[in-house]
Amino acid sequence: MTLTIGPTVAAPQQLPTGHRRRTALLAGTAFALTAVLRLIGIGPSGDLFIDELIYRQVGHSAALGGFPQASGTPFFLHPPAFFYLEAAWEKLFGYSPDTVTAVHDMRPLNALFAAGTAALIVVLIMRVTRSPLAASAGAALFALDPYTIRQNDRVMLETSLMFWVLAGLLTMLPLIEHPAPTHARTRALAAGLLFGIALLTKDEAALLTLLPLAIAALLRLAPRRRLLLLTGAATVMPYTVYVALLTAYGHFGQFWAAKTSGISRLVGFIQSTGFNSQGAPSLSGRLLAQISGYGSSYLLLAAGPLALLLLLQRGSRVHRMLSVMYGCSALALGYALVIGTLEEQALYLLLVPTTVIIAAALPLLRKAPAGHPARRAVRIGGAALLAVALTFSCAAYTTTRATPDDGYARLLAYLNDHVPAGTAISAPDGGATPGISAWALGSRYRVGNWLTPTQREQAGAQYLVVPWQVIDQGYGAAAPIPVHALAAQGTLLFSFHGRTYGQLALYRIPLPTSTAPAAAPGSGHGG
């Protein structure tokens, strides 16, 4: 038996004035509430993440002029759009050389992008469904979802990327309708430029912009397919200009080396990071370990395919375009899960489209034929899903905001008070590439992966910093057993337990007997 959900109709071209006012009011409310929710406790609510520290340094270099750099060399692993946004933010609000302060000062930028994303979800859902309830539900799911908050709280690329993708999608949707809107070419170019900014933020945006455009053109979702081709051409324009500029300044070789390395990681030829890398914990184990904090996020992801079925049965061009966008997100994440480099932040690129299609599908739950046996069950199930997700999300938000997770900020404060600058500190969470401890402490201390007696002797390292969750889960350069053995020889000076790194500990460890100095650096502090 086939469940038919409503007739096939196109969205209206001209929305009533009252509808526009309601949309503006809901979007403004969603922006304000999401901004408040993100900005409350945004610093101590989440510990420093290594990518934040790297991107903050790259953004600071952009503020100094020229192409963004990391550790003194041009940074071409990711395109520069977000880093120049960081530079503009720094020009407005200043820059602190303190590592923790610099990151915390930049986090509000993504909080505002998150608020803008909530507003875009409202406008998008109101246009597709004309349902204030569905638009409000979509904004609430986004604003309160614990995984979404985790990503928005960090100085990462994905938050602004999805903002530009949704802005481009909202601008492009009228091109899918019949008849085409007035000034259709201008709209196609504007949508493409917004998609282009997303592509200039992170290369993976191509999977959320160019790929859906190509599929929509092949499926003839738009009455005038050439408008989608024009949008695609405009999408690649900003990136083309960027490549032309770096080539003109003689950086193409460095750019190509960074991109080929990044592509190798993306397709899975290099597995240096992510859940598929050697020694990393299994994805299933990681998901189970975090279900208490992100259960509502998992529930939304599980409901996504059901919402997709409803949208496909609805049959309108706009609903199919939303389905294509969601499908491309799921396809990209599925590939990374099985073969490519799957990192936790990639889930955000699926969770936001999932939230959109769930909100768009909500009004369809009450449009089944009155006598259909599944009508009541579907409506009750949808309402229960929404209630459970929002309740769990509210509880998770309250818990995380009330429980600080700022171990490295506290560790740095302790070190500043008790250990002289320039002191050697062993940090086994890094190896050939610096780990979180090296990035967090390196501006004031000498940090290295010194574990053997010879290494510690040569470096003069009498302190050991260990984020135990990183080590015990296999993400560090050193195996857990030798790190535990070395820590057992020392004296615990500082300890903090947080959600991000588990126990973050500082130990005073002895130098080999033959090299131990009479007065060790930092010996004036208490234990």
Cα–Cα distance, 266 to 173 (Å, whole number): 29
What pLDDT score was predicted for residue 331?
84
Would the pLDDT of 465 be above 60?
A: yes
> Looking at residues 417-427, what average pLDDT do you find?
95
> Looking at residues 280-298, what average pLDDT do you find?
69
496 SS3 class: strand
Q: What is the pLDDT of residues 341-362, one digit of tens each?
A: 557 788 899 999 999 999 999 9
Q: What is the pLDDT of residues 78-120, one digit of tens each?
A: 999 999 999 999 999 999 988 899 999 999 999 999 999 999 9
* Three state DSSP letters for 261-317: HHHHHHHCCCCCCCCCCCCCCCHHHHHHHCHHHHHHHHHHHHHHHHHHHHHHHHCCH
Query: DSSP 3-state helix, strand, coil percentages of the chain (rounded to 5)?
Result: 65, 5, 30
What pLDDT score was predicted for residue 26?
97
Would the pLDDT of 282 be above 60?
A: no
Would the pLDDT of 336 be above 80?
A: no
Considering 69-73, 166-170, 387-391, 511-515, the range whose residues carry the highest mean pLDDT is: 166-170
- Non-local (6+) Cβ contacts of 378 within 8 A are 365, 368
What pLDDT score was predicted for residue 293?
78
Task: Give the residue among 36, 33, 82, 30 at the shortest CA–CA distance from 60.
Answer: 82
- Model confidence at 182, pLDDT cuts 50, 70, 90, reads confident
Strand partners, 464: 426, 507
Would the pLDDT of 56 be above 90?
A: yes
Residue spans of the domains in the chain: they are: 17-268+293-402, 407-515
- Non-local (6+) Cβ contacts of 233 within 8 A are 192
Q: What is the mean pLDDT of the chain?
A: 86
Would the pLDDT of 123 be above 60?
A: yes
CB 154 within 8 A of CB 49: yes
Would the pLDDT of 229 be above 80?
A: yes
> Looking at residues 364-378, what average pLDDT do you find?
64
Q: What is the pLDDT of residues 244-270, one digit of tens each?
A: 999 999 999 999 998 887 565 555 444
Phi and psi at residue 254, to the nearest 5°? -65, -40
Structure tokens at 233: 């051409």
- Model confidence at 291, pLDDT cuts 50, 70, 90, reads confident
Structure tokens at 34: 């999401």
Cα–Cα distance, 390 to 381 (Å, whole number): 14
Count of CB atoms situated within 10 Å of the CB of 179: 11
Question: Running DSSP on this structure, what letter comes out for residue 442?
Answer: T
Q: What is the pLDDT of residues 192-221, one digit of tens each?
A: 999 999 999 999 899 999 999 999 999 988
The whole-model pTM stands at 0.88
The dihedral built from the CA positions of residue 478, 481, 484 and 490, taken in this order, carries a sign that is negative
